[in-house]
Structure 1
């Protein structure tokens, strides 16, 4: 694991970005036009602050994206009083949902800060060329990530490419395909100039900033979503074959920030920890228990084949009663604990991406088959289980259709409550089958999230552009 000194260093450095001062403001960003006068990039010494501001803005996408990805799907049931989460639990999402507003705001705040860097940085005197190239690559990586989240959540979104406030107030919705083309261009450009991030002195790569492997991981996920199986496999393989990461005990995935498996994750300080806000994961999942793991999810995650990945959840008999099944999610702690960060990419996902890409190409068994990658994760999930009868079953044979369902199930075990489930069901065409069996209120319109009603009221070019059914 990365040293505590390094972890505290990132916390202190990120505190510089407190022009986005509080957690609530990070998760519910103010309109972009209000932020315009807060940026100063006139001299070389300003670069570090604005660079950290881009990372701070991106942090605003992380918790809402996990909520969208896992609360929209079959992982949770409502257990509290907040309307936003009642809508998610009951599958009756509206365009007034606060999570939609928070994610949209996080996406476009990130895009705005990155555009600001990309516009201003070339003209700032005294910036070393190496720093200019790295910061430009980071801005393109973060902008690509924000647009990827926006397009895969809302479909078509405004293609914001400048910081011109008057223009941005009336940008119309571009197609999802157009946005995804820009995402690919940003990721590919970022890959060229991001640092390799190779380990030094035997320490793992610090995952708080973007590296070439973060860009490769982003490309692997991008190609998977685009059904480019060859490139998805190749990008994932490059990350897997690097010497920068290793699969850790799954309990460490749950309980430790910046562990040796982490490729890129967003870090928080005590003053901007997401656990203290209305969209904070620790607050929702542990403190208030506003939502709890669904009974269906619990049945799956405590199965033999999940193995040690059942550490994702915890049972407390004292919480049980009424509609409360007593289960809680353990992945997100408080500011005093070592697991309050949100992972964006880790090595386990790369094995799953490669397994799916291989299965889609008809390669199921053997050393370069899908089942081999799934077995790597199953072996890890049973590594500390003494009794053979309790270890996940290793896979030996399957048809292509069976292998793809095994990948889906393995993603449920491995990536639970990391923000993937709804996106997975939508991109594989499985949402209607799985979700209609889970909830009688599910309809196909929920395969896209609604554009926030406040954004339609604010931008006249979005009038009449709401996603179907909302």
Structure 2
């Protein structure tokens, strides 16, 4: 039974479970079939279980966005990271398997709560409304990542094991339509947070109305609905619940900053630094991957300003093909920077800048350039200028590299802007057009008869 007494116990249990599923993630229908939600005392453990499931997908979500693209070089011995670093990805790679498993773990727990909570007596209407809205948000978030990473994926809407053992792919467009429905429902029912609320309320641990609005801004950006992307990014910024940190270095070195809208946390008892997918282990302990020369050059440029703190150089690492550079954003629990941020306020400025540029709103206080210069000012970098729309859009792409490096956006950005093939063929001779999607994990195809002969093209 998932009826834990302490939050830390839940996190530790989920992490220990995830260590055993690195190479062979559990099938969708067996993810969390021992959850209990029968009475009011069960609500909070089930709720936390859903966030713990989200937490399980955070590291490989980041890897999809940045390891698939041009931000890393392979520097170790693990085959999974050799494939990602050398751009020779196969359907047996453990990273897609881990992400898939945790995506569907999140969806399963969300569906479980959505099914079981409504009829329970003794739970206030306000609590039901908030928790059910959180489940809609979490399910929408998982499906959003799944559809943009794998393309067409199974649409899991129930906890029925018989149904979940044999689910075919649903077209990506239909998955994204369900994501929009979930996000809109979440925005309607999630708690409203006012400016000036305490840090404990808005530190990014649980979803609130602004969290849903932030994901709607990202959703509409990906859909090229520029007007709505601008509207929702503006709602998040103008709410003034979250604020940019004065020093960018704090984004690198601290957890739960003032601009963190959604963040998954780890403690001393469950720091993920020693697992195959532990970011500290990969970047620092084993140095399985190192920042690519291209991203290092970008981050060290004058235009990046203090964003150069994202990487650090150590001459003692200079051996073989090692360039001596290390990514700094994910440390250990002792360092107070081992969390993974999924959404932060700076992204909203970048979304609004891009949405405005695409609508040819370039100058003035409500223009794209003004939004970029807010981030430039924080980074102590020179103001940017653009003579036309094309220059503004190019500046925004560069700014997303400076600001969001190693937060899981790069591959998705290149895909949605149509720049993937040009950038990646220049980066690696092994790049194939089919790498615009990750492969469906082999184990899932073997377990789910409806996925037979449904592997993504090229794998």
Matching residue of 2:291: 293
- Matched residue pairs, number? 451
Q: Which deviates more from structure 2 when the two are superposed, residues 187-196 or residues 323-332?
A: 187-196
What is the match of residue 346 of structure 1?
A: 344
What is the DSSP-based 3-state SS (H/G/I as helix, E as strand, rest coil) of the residue aligned with 2:305? helix
Distance across 2 between alignment mates of 1:426 and 1:36: 33
Name the counterpart of 1:70: 66
1:27·1:106 contact (CA, 8 Å) conserved in 2? no
Counterparts of 1:261-280 in structure 2, within 5 Å, are 261-280=259-278
CA distance in 1, matches of 2:364, 2:273: 44
In structure 1, the partner of 2:184 is: 188
- In the alignment, is residue 405 of structure 1 matched against residue 394 of structure 2? yes
Deviation (angstroms), 1:122: 0.8
1:419 to 408, 425, 439: 408
Distance, in Å, in 2 between the alignment partners of 1:47 and 1:18 is 19
Is 2:454 the counterpart of 1:465?
yes
Q: How far apart in 1 are the matches of 2:8 and 2:177?
A: 31
Superposition map of 1:172-211 within 5 A: 172-198=168-194, 203=199, 205-211=202-208
Could you tell me how far 1:19 is from its partner in structure 2? 5.0
Counterparts in 2 of 1:200 and 1:348: CA distance versus 1, 3 Å: closer
1:296-335 paired onto structure 2 within 5 Å:
296-335=294-333
Q: CA deviation at 1:201?
A: 6.5
Contact 2:32 2:105 in 1 (8 A): no
2:214 aligned residue: 217
Please state whether the residue corresponding to 2:303 is helix, strand or coil: helix
Contact kept in structure 2, 1:156 and 1:174, CA below 8 Å: yes
What is the SS of the residue equivalent to 2:341? strand
TM-fit CA distance, 1:144:
0.3
How much is the aligned-residue C-alpha RMSD, in angstroms?
1.6
- The structure-2 alpha-carbon separation of the partners of 1:258 and 1:21, relative to structure 1 and needing over 3 Å to count, comes to closer
Conservation of the 8 A alpha-carbon contact between 1:17 and 1:49: no
CA displacement at 1:223 relative to structure 2? 0.3
CA separation of 1:354 and 1:462: change in aligned 2, threshold 3 A: same
Distance in structure 2 (CA, Å) of the matches to 1:231 and 1:259: 27
What residue in structure 2 maps to residue 61 of structure 1?
57
Give the corresponding residue for 1:387: none
From 119, 122, 133, the counterpart of 2:118: 122
Displacement, 1:193?
A: 1.2
1:429 to 2:423 alignment: no
Quick check: 1:15 aligned with 2:13? no
Task: Work out which of the residue numbers 147, 154, 164 in structure 2 matches 1:158.
Answer: 154
For 1:117 and 1:467, the matched residues in 2 are separated by 31
The answer on whether the counterparts of 2:68 and 2:84 sit within 8 Å (CA) in structure 1 is yes
Q: Secondary structure at the match of 1:123?
A: coil
Distance 1:291 1:18 in 2: 26
Q: Name 1:369's counterpart in structure 2.
A: 367
Q: Is the 8 A contact 1:12 1:269 kept in 2?
A: no
- How big is each residue's C-alpha offset from its partner over 1:79-103, in whole Å with a ceiling of 9 and x where there is no partner? 0000000001100000000000000
Deviation of 1:125 after TM superposition, in Å, equals 1.7
Q: Would you say the 8 A contact 2:26–2:101 is kept in 1?
A: yes
Shift of 1:326: 0.3
Q: 1:121 to 1:394 in 2, by over 3 A?
A: same
Q: Distance in 2 between matches of 1:440 and 1:462?
A: 31
- What is the alpha-carbon distance in structure 2 between the residues aligned to residue 268 and residue 225 of structure 1? 29
| C-alpha distance in structure 2 between counterparts of 1:147 and 1:93, whole Å | 22
Measure the CA separation in 2 of the matches of 1:25 and 1:198: 39
Contact residue 165 and residue 448 of structure 2 kept, 8 A? yes
Hey, what does 1:337 align to over in structure 2?
335
Offset of 1:322 from its aligned partner?
A: 1.7
Secondary structure (helix, strand or coil) at the match of 2:73 reads strand
- Which residue of the other structure, out of 439, 442, 446, is the alignment partner of 2:428? 439
* Alignment partners' CA distance in 1, 2:388 and 2:20: 46
Instruction: Tell me which moved more, 259-268 or 80-89.
Output: 259-268
Q: Which runs of 5+ in 1 are unaligned?
A: 1-10, 383-391
- Partner residue, 1:8: none
TM-score (norm. length: structure 1): 0.93
CA distance in 2, matches of 1:26, 1:362: 50
Contact 1:27 1:60 in 2 (8 A): no
Q: What's the counterpart of residue 7 of structure 1?
A: none
Which residue in 2 is equivalent to 1:359? 357
| Equivalent position to 2:281, from 265, 268, 283 | 283
**1:25: Cα distance to partner?**
4.2
